Structure 1
Amino acid sequence: MAHALPALIVVDVQRAFDQWEAAGKRRNNPDAVARIVDLLAAFRASGAPIFHIRHEGTKPSSTFRPESSGYAVKDEAREEDGEPVIVKRVNSAFIGTNLESRLRAGGIATLVICGATTNHCVETTTRMAGNLGFDAALVRDATWTFDRIGPDGDTHSAEDIHAMTLSNLNGEFARIVTAHDVITSLATLRQ
């Protein structure tokens, strides 16, 4: 039997990204973590399941290594008692973890995905969620990314990368939604 409420999947909201910003990397969606906080509050109030994903870096230089201060979750997005934390070592939260089996065991069909970064772990997790048959909703204002240099040396803004990622996922792998859309829908499901 399918779970009536969606599950919130919070991807990699870790302090390493604060370190990247402090080192001069530029990001988009400065209010993304505030929207994640809003989503966490709404899911907790409704009793809907929440899964926290952490990235564990394996390269010696990774700011996500478990012994590094960047591995820790940002305080605003910290899990509460009973909310599982699933540790991954690759981009997808489904590879090398028990996320899929936990969702299936819980009868969860709909996933609301947020976190960082839009074009890496969020995108990979969202693509796999869609391919695995979940009804995935990616929250556009609760995820962010950083400027990047392309293979030809071109600079691509975080805003452009974010927009292109959403365009690539839209309709094929996920529905693109806002935090407000999700919170409103959750309130309707609870009535």
Structure 2
Amino acid sequence: MPITEIPPATALVVIDMQSGTLPNARAVTADRLLDRVALLLAGFRKAERTVVHLIATGTPDGRTTYADTGQSWSAEQTVIPPEAAPAGNEPLLRRRGWSGFAGTDLEQRLRAAGVTTVVVAGLATTFGVESTARDAYDLGFDVVVAADAVSDPDPAGQERSLTRVFPVLGRVATADEILALIT
């Protein structure tokens, strides 16, 4: 079912568009991802909609297969390219968890702005994007994932998220489809 509306109370949530994660953009190339995210940012700004940026500053404490504890990322890994950087009073929230809601005041900011719908863009699709979309849905927000403005290290994982996970959590649309409904 095609998307038919983006209500005025919609925010764009941009996840991990930073130097330490952009090299992982393989399902959609980093250049294409930056282009699509920049297009969404321009459209949301022009329509005077809420925009929130999230970056990862490391990983949470806890043992995984890959590490015995959390990792902290260097300042160089958290640099945001100019085309995806916050503008004006757009907040930049820093987190260590996968979800944009973990350890941040994202929910409170969205609710204070009257937001009921979130459009999620960025990377990685099967990590931060999916975790944020799941939490947004669980918190009662309507979720829209910008299909061509997300990317992942694993193209098969991206395809699974776009076709099996996100349709259950909300709606999936292209940046152009989203922008046509807000401008």
**Residues 1:175 and 1:80: Cα distance change in structure 2 (over 3 Å):** same
For residues 14-64 of structure 1, give each alpha carbon's deviation from its aligned partner in whole angstroms, at most 9, with x where no partner exists: 00124xx3xxx67121211100000000011110010000111157995x6
Conserved? CA contact 1:14–1:74, under 8 Å: yes
CA contact (8 A) 2:50 2:113 kept: no
Q: How does 1:15-30 map to 2 (within 5 A)?
A: 15-18=19-22, 21=23, 27-30=26-29
- Divergent runs of 4+, >6 A: none
CA distance in 2, matches of 1:84, 1:179: 21
| 8 Å contact kept, 1:88–1:97 | yes
Match of 1:4 in 2: 8
AA aligned opposite 1:10: V
* Matches of 1:137 and 1:124, distance apart in 2: 13
1:82-134 C-alpha deviation (Å, 9 max, x unpaired): 00111111001111111001111111001000001000000000011111110
Shift of 1:75: 2.1
Normalising by the residue count of structure 2, what TM-score does the alignment of the two structures yield? 0.84
Q: Secondary structure at the match of 2:180?
A: helix
Aligned-residue CA RMSD (Å): 1.9
Query: Aligned-pair distance for 1:5?
Result: 3.5
Unpaired runs of 5+ residues, structure 1, are 147-157
Query: Is the contact between residue 94 and residue 100 of structure 1 (CA under 8 Å) also seen in structure 2?
Result: yes
SS in 2 for 1:171: helix
Structure showing greater radius of gyration is: 1
User: How high is the sequence identity, in percent, across the aligned residues?
Assistant: 30
Distance of 1:26 and 1:106 partners within structure 2: 31
1:160 counterpart = 2:159? no
2:174 aligns with 178
Unpaired runs of 5+ in structure 2? 1-6, 61-68
Say if 1:137 and 1:174, in contact at 8 Å, map to a contact too.
Answer: yes
Contact 1:53/1:88 (8 A) holds in 2: yes
Question: Following TM superposition, by how much is the alpha carbon of 1:68 offset from its aligned partner in structure 2, in angstroms?
Answer: 3.2
Q: Residue in 1 aligned with 2:149?
A: 142
Indicate the residue corresponding to 2:36 in structure 1.
35
- Summarize the Cα distance change of 1:8–1:104 in structure 2 as closer, same or farther, 3 Å threshold: same
Letter in 2 for 1:115: G
Aligned residue-pair number: 167
Could you tell me which residue of structure 1 aligns to residue 139 of structure 2?
Answer: 132
> Do residues 92 (structure 1) and 99 (structure 2) align?
yes
The aligned residue for residue 151 of structure 1 is none
In structure 2, C-alpha distance between the alignment counterparts of 1:56 and 1:34, rounded to whole Å: 23
